[in-house]
């Protein structure tokens, strides 16, 4: 198992966001960067990270972007090793890959079903395992790190046309539960966040204009407000850790 290479209090604190898109992932990275964390952010195409990196740096933060396929074990291992060796100690991991792709079960293919599971579940396992291995090796007592998984409505119930997505998100939730039970006693806070509702994104604006029109009534989730809750989870004292947190607009039925 990897060992900490030097005393933890001498190394920069890193928040690693897997799937730092233009909404939730980017907002989380900006939030942690404001608190002095080095934001390490990933997408499969590194060039798409440039606006986020520029914004964090313009606000006085430190950020590094990586093009990485979170489904590939060798890429995940290399990424985590590189960050730990050359940048700093990963104190926070946020797994934020969605893979929301609806399809009728009558039309679904094995290849597509498997790909969605790879993106939304397997990649969560790979990244969390690698980071957890480093966290448990920290030479400190108490809270050794935080691992946060972004869930969805599909984490709790499978809607018509979302069999693959719901299966993957259910599995990710089970992974989070198992990890929390195993790693909590070792000082690692593992939490699962259910995002139950539309998020303020260009995708929602362009494809669901009626839903987006509810933004002025606080009917659409603000990514910055989501990010605030991720920061809150990391800051919780370990005598009052939250494992699962539901976030939804007030108008959302549940």
pLDDT one-digit tens code per residue, 65-86: 999 999 999 999 999 999 999 9
Strand partners, 66: 42
Which pLDDT score, from 0 to 100, does residue 1 have? 46
Pick the CATH number of 11-151+158-196+223-247 from 1.10.10.60, 3.40.50.720, 3.30.930.10, 3.20.20.70: 3.40.50.720
Coil, strand or helix at 88: coil
Looking up tokens 């004292």 gives: 237
In this predicted model, which residue has the larger pLDDT, 232 or 208?
232
Coil, strand or helix at 35: coil
Q: What is the mean pLDDT of the chain?
A: 93
pLDDT one-digit tens code per residue, 182-195: 999 999 999 999 99
End-to-end, the C-alpha distance of the chain in Å comes to 42
pLDDT at residue 3 is higher than 50: no
pLDDT one-digit tens code per residue, 138-163: 987 778 999 999 999 999 999 999 99
Question: What are the residues whose beta carbons fall under 8 Å from the beta carbon of 74, sequence distance 6 or more?
Answer: none
pLDDT one-digit tens code per residue, 126-137: 999 999 999 999
Q: How many helices (H) and strands (E) does the chain have?
A: 9, 7
pLDDT one-digit tens code per residue, 135-144: 999 987 778 9
The closest of 105, 106, 192, 100 to 154, measured between CA atoms, is 100
CA atoms within a 13 Å half-sphere pointing along the CA-CB vector of 97 = 30
Q: Which long-range contacts (CB under 8 A, 24 or more apart) does 225-231 make?
A: 226/24, 226/27, 226/28, 226/193, 226/195, 226/199, 227/24, 227/27, 227/28, 227/30, 227/31, 228/31, 229/193, 230/28, 230/31, 230/32, 230/94, 230/148, 230/193, 231/31, 231/32, 231/35
Which pLDDT score, from 0 to 100, does residue 9 have? 57
Band of the pLDDT at 239, cuts 50, 70, 90?
very high
pTM of the entire structure?
0.93
């Amino acid at each position: 198992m990897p060992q900490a290479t030097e005393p933890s209090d001498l190394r920069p604190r890193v928040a690693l966001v897997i799937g730092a898109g233009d909404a939730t992932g980017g907002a989380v990275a900006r939030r942690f960067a404001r608190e002095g964390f080095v934001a390490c952010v990933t997408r499969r195409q590194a060039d798409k990270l440039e606006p986020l990196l520029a914004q964090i740096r313009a606000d006085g933060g430190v950020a590094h972007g990586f093009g990485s396929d979170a489904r590939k074990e060798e890429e995940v291992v290399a990424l985590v090793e590189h960050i730990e060796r050359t940048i700093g100690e990963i104190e926070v991991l946020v797994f934020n890959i969605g893979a929301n792709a609806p399809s009728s079960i009558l039309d679904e293919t094995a290849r597509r079903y498997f790909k969605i599971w790879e993106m939304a579940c397997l990649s969560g396992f790979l990244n969390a395992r690698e980071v957890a291995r480093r966290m448990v090796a920290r030479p400190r007592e108490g809270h050794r790190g935080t691992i946060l998984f972004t869930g969805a409505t599909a984490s709790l119930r499978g809607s018509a046309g979302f069999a693959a997505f719901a299966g993957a998100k259910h599995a990710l939730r089970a992974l989070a539960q198992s990890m929390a039970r195993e790693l909590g006693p070792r000082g690692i806070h593992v939490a699962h966040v259910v995002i139950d509702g539309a998020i303020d994104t260009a995708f929602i604006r362009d494809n669901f204009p009626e839903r987006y029109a509810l933004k002025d009534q606080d009917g659409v989730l603000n990514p910055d407000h989501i990010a605030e809750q991720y920061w809150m989870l990391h800051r919780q004292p370990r005598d009052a850790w939250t494992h699962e947190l539901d976030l939804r607009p007030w108008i959302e039925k549940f």
